[in-house]
A = this chain, B = another copy of it.
Amino acid sequence: MTKVIKNGTIVTADRTWKADVLIRAGQIMAIGQNLQGDEEFDASGCYVMPGGIDPHTHLEMPFMGTYSSDDFESGTRAALAGGTTMVVDFCLPAPQQSLLEALQMWDNKTAKAACDFSFHMAITWWGKQVFEEMAQVVDKGIPSFKHFMAYKGALMVDDDELYASFQRCAALGALPLVHAENGDVVAALSQKLLEAGNNGPEAHAYSRPPEVEGEATNRAIMIADMAGVPLYVVHVSCEQSHEAIRRARQKGMRVYGEPLIQHLTLDESEYFNADWDHAARRVMSPPFRNRQHQGSLWAGLQAGSLQVVATDHCAFTTDQKRYGVGDFTKIPNGTGGLEDRMPVLWTKGVNTGRLTMNEFVAASSTNIAKILNMYPKKGAIVEGADADIVVWDPKRSKVISASRQQSVIDYNVFEGMEVTGLPRFVFSRGELVVEESNMKTRPGHGRFVAREANPAP
């Protein structure tokens, strides 16, 4: 039983050409002219691209006794609806919890995933047990470890622990990730704002200025440098952080930066909306920045100093957001984006001339697969690769609206934005899962993707 995508133009990270794609058994079997298959899909006028990969999601993430509302079922459905065929989520052990036990818990959530997925493991505490279990986590196909420099009193680790963990990553051939904000200063600024009576969502932005993010990025880079390990900085939102990354790269360091589609296209004025709900729905960390920061992020994608675009999808309903009425520090942090990342990046990136189509593929898929060591199984249109494919119709357009979205939450931060460039077909390991607005996803289809560590040094 084979499928063939006919008459399209293949667009990969490094070239563009007209060819058909033959799929069998979930993989790309052939690429060439006039291929035949049992089932044909017409890609006329479309671009045939590697399915998107979102390297940064939080599905069904525990939070104050409840969970972020999109779970692996609705979250991966949203992903597929927008042309994203794989997500990488974060396993977050509780303090003193075994990494392996946490991993089991997270794995349990994925039973209804509709697309493939992988995990990053978070290092939320430090000790001999963590040190040792890191090797087992790598053996299970998870050679990437996340570190929070913010969320003091909860997930945050200090410089000591960062350095110890980064060294351990170096020894294991694993990649450390950081959420870079100075947690001490964020906590102090938040306290000060609350004491001064600033308890609304706009105070969230005040409590996390770009300088605070830039500082932490710079610090993480130094620690990675001392440990002799590459570094991946999640949700780079501002010039200060980007500048630190550029400076590191310019001395030859391997540092990667991940802007979010939100930071590329939305700005801080959202927090000044008079409607508490409107503003609170946009509360995430780092917060949206001003237009100069957006310009910096786009230029980074153009210059190659930033490499990938993610969502940090962590969806809370308006009801959940309202936990923070009267105290912005209690507003659950996170926004959606999984369904919108690809169309918004195409619309604001490719249609404006900022990015070439090849750069779009690189930033939304291929670079991620390379950095996370799963290329070309994922992120590629080559023979033998998983048939995670999006057939992209550059003419299809829609107005983004919560009323029509796959995510279970009741709003969308991109509400009202017109996007041009949408999937005609989406394939997940060869299965047709989306046909224009028609969702054909199957809960449970998604599988865990094990990734290799780098060779031991």
Contacts and interface: CB of A to CB of B under 8 A. Distances in A.
A304 interface: yes
Interface in A202-243: 209, 211-212, 214-215, 218-219, 222-223, 225-226, 243
This chain: how many copies in the complex? Answer: 4
Contacts of A187: 160
A292 interface: yes
A13 interface: yes
A15 B189 CA distance: 35
A226 B251 CA distance: 28
Given A188-B160, A219-B215, A292-B292, A303 B252 contact: yes
Interface string A105-124: 00000000000000000000
B299 A189 contact: no
Interface in A296-315: 298-300, 302-305
A151 interface: no
Contact of A211 (B182, B185, B225, B254): B225
Interface residues of A, number: 49
A209 B189 contact: no
Given A13-B14, A158-B184, A302-B252, A222 B212 contact: yes
A126 interface: no
Interface string A24-44: 000000011000000000000
Interface in A346-367: 354, 366
A307 B320 CA distance: 49
A448 interface: no
Interface in A363-412: 366, 370, 375-376, 383
A26 B163 CA distance: 53
A252 B14 CA distance: 19
A140 interface: no
Contacts of A247: 243
A132 interface: no
Interface in A10-25: 13-15
Contacts of A243: 247
A14 B375 contact: yes
A281 interface: no
A159 interface: yes
A186 to B, nearest CB: 10
Nearest to A211: B222
A273 interface: no
Residue among A222, A243, A249 facing the most chain B CB atoms (10 A cut-off): A222
Q: Which 8 A-B pairs have the closest CB atoms?
A: A159-B184, A215-B222, A249-B303, A304-B304, A252-B299, A252-B302, A160-B184, A211-B222
Interface of A: 13-15, 31-32, 158-160, 163-164, 182, 184-185, 187-189, 209, 211-212, 214-215, 218-219, 222-223, 225-226, 243, 246-247, 249-252, 254, 292, 298-300, 302-305, 354, 366, 370, 375-376, 383
